[in-house]
Amino acid sequence: MTIAAPPLADPRALAPARKVLAEVFGYREFRPGQPEVIASVLARRDTLAVMPTGGGKSFCFQVPALLASDTLTVVVSPLLALMKDQVDALRQSGVAAAAVNSTMSREDQAAVMEQAVSGELRLLYVAPERFGDGGFMAALRRANVGLLAIDEAHCISQWGHDFRPSYRDLGSVRPRLGNPPIVALTATADPLVREDIVERLQLHAPVVHVAGFDRPNLRFDVIRTKSIKEKQELIAAKLKTLGEESAIVYCGTRKKVEELTDYLQRQRIKCARYHAGMPDDDRRRIQDAFARDSLRIIVATNAFGMGIDKPDVRMVLHHDLPDSLESYYQEAGRGGRDGEPADCVLYFSQRDRQLREFFIDLAHPEPHMVVDVYKRLVEFQGKRTHIRELMTEEDQPGINAAVQTLVDCGLAGRQGQMAWATRPNGEDEIDTAGLEAHRDHAVRKLDSMQHYAESMTCLRARILDYFGETGHGASCGSCGPCIAPPARIIGALTEADDRLFHALRAVRRRFADEANVPPFTIFSDATLHEMARRTPRNRVEMLSVSGVGQVKFERYGEAFLAVTRAAAPAGGAPAGQIAPGPRRDVPLRSREGKALNASLRRTWELFREGHDIPAIAAQRGLSTSTITQHVVDLLLAKEIDDVSRWVDEMTMARIRRAAGEGPIGPLGPLKEQLGESVSYDQLHLARAWINTRERGQAS
Ligand code: ADP
Ligand code: ZN
């Protein structure tokens, strides 16, 4: 593998990237690794970024995507839920992003592709299967693709723990898109997997960046137990300390998920189960409820995984031993993505290793067993034989994998549970060395996991050593072995801050429910904590809170300010805070100088408190069309600066197209043209917006 040193991150070259980070996303500092990866992407180099889960991989392609205003960034992502969350989050920040997937109607797909081709979109999210769709590829070829970002890139490797067949053909996609540079991103540190990624994606002299793997806000612990019962009791006790926040409990099998969920529910702990044996609909519902905070605790197999980028998970507990430290760190890393503390606890008993060994036998049969199975098939002289009859002992794990290996070597055929030899004398073609290597690899990974579970010294240091990170201390001072006996670290918030934090969460919740998006896409917990601590009183102070970008301020800033202002201490700001700006009282006149009548003003106040049209209508006992008219007036008076919460980007684009050029007149013809999918209220709002902001006429 050719590895180029990352280009030195020239601070000047990164100035525009910092500007985007601050203005669009509201963050002041890059996280470790982001500057190097972004610099490499901006230099149009092929790049492989290895960063821990929660390390901030998304900005590595999102920031460059926003800097390239004339090209499209295509993002390949393995799961719909993951794409949806990222697209929601980007749109909340005012970024033109969309996803196309097979669950959308043909028209909706076409509308998105039209935006992609016209240059309106900055980021387009797709699942790898899309590239096999002729219509999609034809449309995409007309778009100006400037960057191909491949998220969760380890899915391309069979050495990885998440191999997905749909990723296999990604290597051939780039030439069909006009050869844009590729940035591949993964949290997997395994060198074999990295090499595989570079090879299969055919990266040209890639810059490989491995970011710091330390996640200082995660607190690691291992609790040794003697029985399943003890594990269950300890996990229940731990979950009872959770309060209103979110947790994931991982189990090694579906059966254990079922058992633990039942136990916890008997203990009156509200939780839901999640595993691959459940219907898709149920799984989607649970993921959604979790993202939206209406469900706090999920008990799951590792099937609950990649789609989860909820930043405010406060505990990740493991009921069973994972298969490798990679898997463990990836799963535990789903805690505390927002940078706030999270507890990662592994509950371990000596017998746990057996379960994993069984799984290794299942997936990686010993070479001699594959050879034996082949010999038996040959004895049957090509006759179809039930796999059961090939076993030498009862219930032989790995028999399926053994037959599959023979099929892959071209020595056997298979249909369901029936198999047959395709020819005799093929023994030498069985790749015994390869089988042995796969098996060894898996056993070595399990060993490293067990060493972690039995460690008497700093757990963080063990993880960092495993990932090849040097220069860290021998003791982190926060993990189990470092602070025995366990001391509970008190959160940084005072009680008053905590009350305020919950009030801010309630406002966030309301916006999220109205827009039907997960709360964290509005603001993260970390952002709300900072608001609670600093109680901003004006726009400038609010914009200086990490996570508050321009668009989000325009959308939500006032509603949150209404809460923080009320809680801000009277008089001067406490030491260390920004001096308060002049208190902005509700003006009697709009910025355009028009007097706002009392009714309009009341609507405006309620709007600023964060209520949306139906809520204001209900509260005031007026119809929604009256309140919509108020909002139209406020838009015209430039008191409201955004319509995207009522008219999404796609609808707006359709209205613009249907309206043709010039200021928009009567709405009847437009309504006729656009049909049921666009309401009159939306047309009213869009007309006010387009006529005053885009087509220079005050309607
Ligand atoms: P990954 O894909 O590496 O697991 P994400 O890209 O989902 O991680 O980022 C995890 C969280 O960290 C997100 O909530 C994101 O907004 C936040 N984040 C990323 N970069 C920064 C940064 N430079 N400053 C503050 N927060 C960041
Ligand atoms: Zn430690």
CATH of the domain at 551: 1.10.150.80
- The ligand 1 atom at the shortest distance from the C-alpha of residue 28 is 24
CATH number at residue 409: 1.10.10
The whole-number pLDDT of residue 441 equals: 86
Alpha helices in 307-431 (DSSP H): 325-332, 352-363, 367-379, 399-408
pLDDT at 174 over 90: yes
Residue 311 per-residue DSSP state: T
pTM: 0.62
Secondary structure (3-state) at 229: helix
Write down the pLDDT at residue 394: 66
Closest protein CA for atom 25 of ligand 1: 27
For the stretch 434-467, pLDDT in tens is: 888 888 888 988 999 999 999 888 999 999 988 8
* Any ligand 1 atom below 6 A from CB of 86: no
State which of 539, 567, 595 marks the end of a domain.
567
Q: 536 CB less than 6 Å from ligand 1?
A: no
pLDDT band at 484; cut points 50, 70, 90: low
**Do the beta carbons of residue 90 and residue 61 sit within 8 Å?**
no
pLDDT tens sequence across 55-78: 899 999 999 999 998 999 999 998
Least confident window among 58-67, 107-116, 394-403, 618-627:
618-627
Q: If you measure from the C-alpha of residue 309 to the centroid of ligand 1, how many angstroms do you get, rounded to a whole number? A: 9
Asked if 160 contacts 193 with a C-beta cutoff of 8 angstroms, the reply is yes
**Domain check: are 25 and 172 in the same one?**
yes
Q: Are residues 496 and 371 in the same domain?
A: no
User: Is residue 65 assigned to a domain?
Assistant: yes
Ligand 2 centroid–CA 341 distance in Å is: 15
Do residues 275 and 301 touch, judged by C-beta distance below 8 A?
A: yes
Domain contains 406: yes
pLDDT at residue 235, as a whole number: 97
Domain count, the chain: 4
Hey, how many other C-beta atoms are within 10 angstroms of the C-beta on 215?
Answer: 23
Residue 4 pLDDT class (50, 70, 90 cuts) = very low
Please report whether residue 685 resides in a domain: yes
Query: Whose alpha carbon is nearest atom 18 of ligand 1?
Result: 56
**Buried/exposed code over 151-168 (b: 16+ C-beta within 10 A; e: otherwise):** bbbbbbbebbbbebebbe
The residue among 296 and 639 whose pLDDT is bigger is: 296
Please, which residues have CB within 8 angstroms of residue 607's CB and are 6 or more apart in sequence? 616, 631, 634, 640
Residues 412 and 495 in one domain: no
User: Six-digit token pair at 553?
Assistant: 């301020």
Residues 62 and 156 in one domain: yes
| Closest ligand 1 atom to Cα of 53 | 4
Ligand 1 atom nearest to 57, measured from its CA: 3
Same domain, 48 and 116: yes
Q: For residue 384, count other CB atoms closer than 10 A to its CB.
A: 12
Kindly state if the Cβ of 338 falls inside 6 Å of ligand 1: yes
pLDDT (0 to 100) of residue 317: 98
The verdict on the CB of residue 334 being under 6 Å from ligand 1 is no
The beta strands (E) that lie in 140-201 are given as 145-150, 182-186
Whether 373 contacts 393, CB under 8 Å: no
CA of 246 from ligand 2 middle (Å) equals 24
pLDDT of 254 > 90? The answer is yes
Three-class DSSP category at 677:
helix
Which H, E and C letters describe 64-109, residue by residue? Answer: HHHHCCCCEEEEECCCHHHHHHHHHHHHHCCCCEEEECCCCCHHHH
Q: Render pLDDT for 313-344 as a digit per residue (tens, 0 to 9).
A: 999 999 999 999 989 998 999 999 888 999 99
Do 385 and 418 touch, CB atoms closer than 8 A?
A: yes
Is residue 303 in some structural domain?
no
Establish whether residue 53 lines the binding site of ligand 1, counting it when its CB lies within 6 angstroms of any ligand atom: yes
* Phi, psi for residue 153 in degrees, rounded to 5: -65, -20
Residue predicted with more confidence, 635 or 528: 528
Q: What is the pLDDT of residue 408?
A: 84
Amino acid letter, 416:
G
Whether residues 401 and 539 share a domain: the answer is no
Q: What is the per-residue pLDDT for 696?
A: 58
Q: Which atom of ligand 1 is the closest one to the Cα of 30?
A: 23
Asked if residue 520 and residue 373 are part of one domain, the reply reads no
pLDDT of residue 570: 63
Query: Do 150 and 38 sit in the same domain of this protein?
Result: yes
- Can you tell me which atom of ligand 1 is nearest the CA of 51? 3
Do 660 and 549 share a structural domain? no
| Amino acid 75: pLDDT | 98
* Cβ pair 146, 71 in contact under 8 A: yes
Band of pLDDT at residue 87, cut at 50, 70 and 90: very high
pLDDT of residue 486: 42
Task: Evaluate whether residue 284 is within a structural domain.
Answer: no
Domain's final residue, options 210, 229, 262: 210
pLDDT in tens, 88-106: 999 999 999 999 988 889 8
Q: Per the domain annotation, does 467 fall within a domain? A: no
Closest among 8, 316, 60, 279 to 185, alpha carbons compared: 60
CATH number at 159 reads 3.40.50.300
Q: Does 57 contact ligand 1 (Cβ within 6 A)?
A: yes
Q: Which domain holds residue 541?
A: 484-567
> What angle do helix axes 680-689 and 624-636 make, rounded to 10 degrees?
10
Alpha-carbon gap, residue 69 to 120, rounded angstroms: 9
The atom number, within ligand 1, closest to the CA of 546 reads 25
Residue 138 has φ and ψ, to the nearest 5°, of -60, -45
Q: Is 356 in the pocket of ligand 1 (CB under 6 A)?
A: no
Average pLDDT over the chain reads 86
Please count the helices (runs of H) and the strands (runs of E) in the chain.
27, 16
Co-location of 421 and 498 in the same domain = no
What's the pLDDT tens digit per position in 530-556?
A: 898 888 988 888 988 889 998 999 999
Based on the fold, state whether residues 376 and 488 are members of the same structural domain: no
**Could you tell me if residue 632 is inside a domain?**
no
Pair 135, 22 in one domain: yes
Q: Does residue 112 fall inside a structural domain? A: yes
For the chain, give the number of residues: 699
Contact between 225 and 348 (Cβ < 8 Å): yes
| Look-up of token digits 């023994």 | 427
Given a contact cutoff of 8 angstroms between Cβ atoms, the answer to whether 446 and 323 are in contact is yes
Beta strand 218-224 with 342-348 is: parallel
Burial (Cβ within 10 Å: 0-12, 13-18, ≥19) of residue 455: middle
Q: Name the pairing type of β-strands 272-274 and 297-300.
A: parallel
Q: What is the maximum span of the chain, computed from C-alpha positions, in angstroms?
A: 95
Domain boundary residue, one of 567, 594, 624: 567
Return the ligand number nearest the Cα of 337. 1
**Three-class DSSP labels, 106-148:** HHHHHHHHHHHHHCCCCEEEECHHHHHCHHHHHHHHHCCEEEE
Question: What's the average model confidence in pLDDT over 389-414?
Answer: 84
